[in-house]
């Protein structure tokens, strides 16, 4: 993996070294975790920055109503990541265990089957989003201008859904073989391309929300093409060679592999879908709070997304490293990786939350050309609360990593469902119907992360995931719990 003086890498490595000195991390596990986590964090920052910049550009060009429209369309776009992320979880579980068990013959089949499955799932979604864009956005708002902006954005961005899902597959395949650098470069480059295209289309050609959507589609197409070329050729000049080359003319619909992908992936789709589906009632509820709250909430969620990127790195590092140890039959090392990565993740989350809390005001002002807008102070307060709530993501995501690696994906789905639908959404609704007011949204943020953190950590400590993993390994030679 190339060595660059990247500030994210330096920051993560610094936290890791500090935890090693405190006796909370093993040096070698800290090094391997850092090598896998920081490129994925950079990828997440690039992707979420792209999303945040989209909203900021639209806000500067068209105002708060357009921000609200894009925010209402975002959950529908998020379905691509729910579907793609679920199948990608199956991909990284199968690939990492085969890589750890030195069984590379099945890697190509896992990649082809993952790609075929995600296309079959997302193409019908594109047809629905394109055809019913106005009706779908109108379910969440009765404001004509907001609906128009949201529908225009959704209709165009729907074309990028299959490509966004395929990019998740490509990224997880590389991470599953200890290469987080390549997908970081590809996807971060795509995010920067997205921002550049958006700037030209929004401000240069005056295309507004349609320009923002078109930039998203084009950048995802480019990244998909690069991933496909790299996997087929076994690498690209200047990048780490992939351990195998994937034959594009091989069999795609392997019954056994598809069954394993669905068995592992469906609960993850459900888990990701919990937040995506929950956004619909949540946005409708937020709209009931009064003027300025919806754009403030959309802004706060974009900043939340940036703060949540450590979970991308540590969750996937945990899935890969734990999966490799399980593939070797070393369950004790797998548990040690999982336990220490949770500590590592919480420390990094805490540091990032402190930084964002200190600069909440100027960060929020970057999304508005009017510092006196009513949404600004509301957004600042929501971001401040999010800084505390997001730290629980270190526990939730870190504990979910070993569960994903083992194939024990149902539990994180249930924990996310309980957190969102049984706690977060009811609390948000109480804020609109009782004297609780905006405090209901604050409590909703905390419940969204703390409940899954508690439940996922309980499951990790139970060691049930070790037994689950034995049915997915290339050869069953498990160690004792």
Residue that wins the pLDDT comparison between 26 and 99: 26
Q: What is the pLDDT of residue 132?
A: 94
- Number of other CB atoms surrounding residue 32 within 10 Å: 18
pLDDT digits (tens, 9 = 90+) for 162-186: 999 899 888 888 877 777 788 878 8
Report whether pLDDT(215) > 50: yes
Query: 249 φ, ψ to 5°?
Result: -100, 5
Q: Which helix (H) or strand (E) holds 425?
A: helix 425-433
Instruction: Answer whether residue 149 is part of any domain.
Output: yes
Residue 102 belongs to some domain of the structure: yes
DSSP for 326-374, written as a single string: HHTT-HHHHHHHHHHHHHHHHHHHHHHHHHHHHTHHHHHHTT-S-TT-T
pLDDT of residue 120 exceeding 60, the answer is yes
pTM of the predicted model, to two decimals? Answer: 0.71
User: Looking at residue 247, what is its pLDDT?
Assistant: 80
User: Above pLDDT 90, what percent of the chain?
Assistant: 34
- Looking at the structure of the chain, the number of domains it has is 1
Residue 480: inside a domain: no
Between these two residues, 291 and 458, which has the higher pLDDT value? 458
Separation between Cα atoms, residue 331 and residue 352, nearest integer Å = 32
User: Residue 60 pLDDT > 80, yes or no?
Assistant: no
Q: Rounded distance, CA 301 to CA 110, Å?
A: 34
Task: Please determine, for residue 328, whether its predicted confidence score (pLDDT) is greater than 90.
Answer: no
Mean pLDDT of 250-279: 79
Q: Which among 2, 167, 175, 36 has a CA at the least distance from the CA of 99?
A: 175
pLDDT at site 475: 54
Q: In this predicted model, which residue has the larger pLDDT, 42 or 99?
A: 42
Average pLDDT over residues 347-357: 93
Which residues make Cβ contacts (< 8 Å) with residue 127, sequence separation at least 6?
none
Q: What is the pLDDT of residue 239?
A: 65
In this prediction, residue 238 carries a pLDDT of: 66
More confident of the two residues 403 and 371: 403
Residue 2 lies in a domain: no
Residue 165 lies in a domain: yes
Q: What is the structure's pLDDT at 153?
A: 92
Average pLDDT over residues 203-214: 90
**Residue 479 covered by a domain:** no
- pLDDT-derived band at 192 (thresholds 50, 70, 90) equals confident
Q: Let me know if residue 410 belongs to a domain.
A: yes
Instruction: Give the domain extent around 88.
Output: 7-469
Which pLDDT value is given to residue 2?
Answer: 43
Provide the pLDDT for residue 370. 73
Domain annotation covers residue 476: no
**Count of beta carbons in the 10 Å neighbourhood of residue 340:** 22
Mean pLDDT of the chain: 85
pLDDT of residue 102: 63
The answer, yes or no, to whether residue 74 has pLDDT greater than 90, is no
């Amino acid at each position: 993996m190339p060595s660059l003086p990247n500030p994210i890498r330096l920051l993560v490595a610094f936290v890791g070294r500090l935890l090693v000195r405190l006796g909370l991390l093993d040096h070698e596990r800290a090094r391997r975790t850092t090598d896998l986590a920081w490129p994925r964090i950079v990828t997440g920052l690039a992707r979420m920055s792209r999303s945040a910049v989209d909203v900021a550009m639209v806000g500067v060009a068209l105002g708060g109503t357009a921000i609200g429209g894009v925010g209402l369309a975002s959950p529908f776009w998020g379905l691509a990541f729910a579907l793609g992320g679920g199948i990608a979880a199956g991909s990284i579980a199968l690939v990492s265990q085969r890589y750890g068990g030195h069984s590379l013959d099945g890697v190509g089949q896992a990649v082809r089957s993952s790609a075929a499955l995600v296309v079959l799932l997302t193409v019908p979604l594109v047809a629905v989003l394109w055809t019913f864009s106005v009706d779908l956005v109108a379910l969440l708002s009765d404001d004509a201008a907001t609906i128009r902006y949201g529908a225009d954005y959704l209709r165009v961005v729907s074309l990028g859904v299959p490509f966004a899902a395929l990019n998740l597959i490509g990224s997880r395949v590389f991470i599953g073989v200890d290469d987080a650098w390549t997908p970081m470069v590809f996807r971060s480059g795509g995010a920067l391309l997205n921002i550049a295209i958006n700037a030209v289309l929004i401000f240069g050609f005056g295309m507004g929300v349609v320009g923002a959507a078109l930039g998203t589609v084009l950048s995802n197409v480019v990244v998909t093409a690069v991933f496909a070329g790299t996997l087929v050729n076994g690498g690209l000049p200047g990048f780490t060679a992939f351990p195998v080359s994937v034959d594009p003319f091989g069999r795609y619909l392997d019954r056994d592999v598809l069954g394993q992908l669905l068995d592992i992936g469906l609960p993850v789709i459900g888990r990701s879908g919990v937040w995506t589906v929950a956004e619909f009632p949540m946005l409708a509820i937020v709209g009931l709070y009064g003027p300025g709250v919806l754009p403030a909430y959309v802004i706060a969620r974009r900043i939340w997304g940036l703060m949540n990127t450590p979970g991308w790195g540590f969750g996937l590092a945990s899935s890969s490293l734990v999966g490799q140890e399980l593939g070797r039959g070393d369950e004790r090392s797998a548990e040690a990786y999982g336990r220490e990565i949770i500590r590592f993740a919480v420390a990094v989350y805490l540091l990032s939350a402190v930084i964002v809390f200190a600069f909440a005001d100027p960060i929020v002002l970057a999304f508005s050309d009017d510092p006196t807008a009513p949404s600004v102070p509301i957004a600042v307060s929501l971001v401040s609360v999010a800084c505390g709530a997001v730290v629980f993501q270190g526990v939730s995501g870190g504990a979910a990593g070993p569960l994903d690696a083992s194939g024990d994906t149902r539990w994180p789905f249930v924990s996310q469902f309980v957190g969102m639908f049984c706690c977060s959404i009811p609390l948000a609704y109480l804020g609109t119907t009782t004297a609780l007011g905006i405090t209901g949204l604050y409590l909703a943020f905390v419940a969204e992360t703390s409940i899954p953190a508690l439940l996922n950590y309980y499951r990790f400590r139970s060691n049930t995931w070790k037994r689950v993993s034995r049915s997915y390994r290339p050869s069953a030679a498990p160690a004792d719990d």
